[in-house]
């Protein structure tokens, strides 16, 4: 497969059973083969997207000293600002050529989870930044809920199977800034080849070249969404839970050609995480004689901590 399939969430949300099943079949097939789709019909409107890009550009243009006020020690970068070059891919010593911000969950009616998650960080210099971030978070979380419902049906589970695990889940919205490249990078790229940790990732801002996906022949293919699409890929948690029936695909963000080094790039992934006590044990109906159980039992929280240590974000 040399092209990212495109699907339309409105098919799944329609009252037409055939259209709904068509969506389930298309997304299920895509995630069993390449692990990525481009999705139309999501819940982000153009005005919200425009406002979000304005706010994140305003933030990343603030002086470095101002941004660093919002880098909170001791929380593994889970909220607020993470400075340039701080994160590296698993097994890679060079830091990625990016800086980013984290918006986290807005917990509803669950005091114990409020204590478990770090608080969101308020940017005092930008009146609309946190409000627009929260609106975007909620719309991407809503989109993700229906994508997971379709995947539950594809896996032979009840449609609402994931709902209880993603309600107040430890999801993260990460606006990323890849600054202009000023000198030949020594072994570093904007984002080195990696798989995502979480259930699924929804990615805004993949409308130009840069994002590449590795297909199962080991070839790198460009993943370019249309302006009305967001990219959605399977993360390691869902791959593990489904015994690798749904594929978590290796992807990267490559450096632009030299003539474009002077330009910034922005992308905004939403990492859909469940609550930490969700069991990621392999689903029974994903195990058979041809596909024996591939993974040990583990909870989502244990798996996340293991991976954050590998990324160097927590010690």
Distance between the two ends of the chain, CA-based, in angstroms?
39
Residue ranges in 170-273 assigned as alpha helix (H): 236-241
Q: Which long-range contacts (CB under 8 A, 24 or more apart) does 207-212 make?
A: 208/265, 209/256, 210/178, 210/253, 210/254, 210/256, 210/265, 210/267, 211/251, 211/252, 211/253, 211/267, 212/251, 212/252, 212/253, 212/254
- The enclosing domain of 111 has a CATH number of 2.60.120.330
- Is 9 a residue whose pLDDT tops 80? yes
CB under 8 Å to 171, separation ≥6 — which residues? 104, 105, 137, 141, 144, 198, 270, 271, 272, 273
Q: E strands within 26-108?
A: 36-40, 80-82, 99-102
Burial class (CB in 10 A: 0-12, 13-18, 19+), 297: exposed
Torsion from C-alpha of 54, 56, 60, 63, nearest 10 degrees: 70
* Average pLDDT for the chain: 89
Q: pLDDT of 242-285, one tens digit each?
A: 999 999 988 887 776 677 677 788 889 999 999 999 999 999 99
Q: Is residue 264 part of a domain?
A: yes
Contacts of 73 (CB under 8 A, 6+ apart): none
- Within a domain: 186: yes
Q: Does residue 68 lie in a domain region?
A: yes
For position 180, what pLDDT does the model report? 79
Q: How many domains does the chain have?
A: 1
Residue 64 lies in domain: 6-310
Q: How confident is the model at residue 190 (pLDDT cuts 50, 70, 90)?
A: low
Tell whether the model's pLDDT for residue 1 goes beyond 60: no
pLDDT tens readout for residues 100-139: 999 999 999 999 999 999 999 999 999 999 999 999 999 9
Percent pLDDT > 70 in the chain is 88
Residue 1 lies in a domain: no
Instruction: Express each pLDDT in 141-181 by its tens digit.
Output: 999 999 999 999 999 999 999 999 999 999 999 999 988 77
In a domain, residue 315? The reply is: no
Rg (C-alpha) for the chain, rounded Å, is 19
Higher pLDDT, 313 or 165: 165
Average pLDDT over residues 31-46: 94
């Amino acid at each position: 497969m040399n092209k990212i399939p495109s699907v339309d969430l409105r098919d799944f949300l329609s009252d037409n059973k055939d259209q709904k099943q068509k969506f389930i079949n298309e997304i299920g097939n895509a995630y069993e083969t390449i692990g990525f789709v481009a999705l139309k019909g999501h819940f982000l409107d153009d005005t919200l997207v425009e406002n979000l890009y304005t706010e994140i550009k305003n933030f990343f243009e603030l002086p470095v000293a101002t941004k660093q006020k919002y880098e909170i020690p001791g929380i593994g970068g889970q909220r607020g600002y993470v400075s340039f070059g701080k994160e590296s891919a698993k097994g890679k010593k060079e830091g990625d050529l990016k800086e980013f911000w984290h918006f986290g969950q807005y917990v509803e009616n669950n005091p114990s989870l409020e204590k478990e998650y770090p608080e969101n960080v308020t940017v005092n210099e930008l009146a609309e930044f946190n409000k627009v971030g929260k609106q975007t978070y909620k719309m991407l979380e809503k989109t993700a809920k229906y994508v997971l419902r379709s995947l539950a049906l594809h896996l032979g589970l009840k449609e609402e199977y994931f709902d209880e695990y993603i309600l107040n889940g430890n999801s993260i919205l990460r606006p990323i800034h890849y600054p202009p490249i000023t000198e030949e990078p020594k072994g570093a790229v904007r984002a080195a080849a990696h798989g995502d940790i979480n259930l699924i990732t929804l990615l805004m801002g993949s409308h130009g070249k840069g994002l590449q996906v590795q297909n199962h022949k080991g070839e790198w293919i460009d993943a370019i969404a249309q302006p009305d699409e967001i990219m959605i890929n399977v993360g390691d948690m869902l791959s593990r839970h489904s015994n690798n029936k749904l594929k978590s695909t290796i992807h990267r963000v490559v450096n632009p050609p030299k003539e474009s080094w002077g330009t910034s790039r922005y992308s905004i992934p939403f990492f859909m995480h469940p609550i930490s006590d969700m069991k990621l044990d392999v689903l029974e109906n994903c195990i058979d004689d041809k596909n024996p159980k591939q993974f040990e039992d583990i909870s989502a929280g244990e798996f996340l901590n293991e991976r954050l240590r590998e990324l160097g974000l927590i010690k």
